[in-house]
Amino acid sequence: MIDTFKAYLDKTNLSENSKSAYLFAFRQFSDKYGTVTKKNLTAYKVWLVDNFKPQTVNLRLRGMNCYLESVGKEKWKLTFVKVQQKPFLENVISEADYEYFKKSLKDDGEMFWYFVIRFLAATGARVSELIQIKVEHVKLGYLDLYSKGGKLRRIYIPATLQEEASQWLGSKRQDSGFLFLNKRGDRITTRGISGELKKYAVKYGIDPKVVYPHSFRHRFAKSFLAKCNDIAFLADLMGHESIETTRIYLRKTATEQREIVDDIIDW
Active site residues: 126, 148, 214, 217, 240, 249
Q: Which residues touch 61 (CB under 8 Å, ≥6 apart)? A: 25, 45, 48, 78, 80, 81
Q: Which residues touch 87 (CB under 8 Å, ≥6 apart)? A: 251
Q: What gap in Å lies between CA 247 and CA 140, rounded to an integer? A: 30
Q: What gap in Å lies between CA 212 and CA 216, rounded to an integer? A: 7
Task: Give one DSSP letter per residue of 27-54, joined into a string.
Answer: HHHHHHH-S--HHHHHHHHHHHHHHS-H
Q: What gap in Å lies between CA 187 and CA 154, rounded to an integer? A: 21
Number of Cβ within a 10 Å radius of residue 56: 13
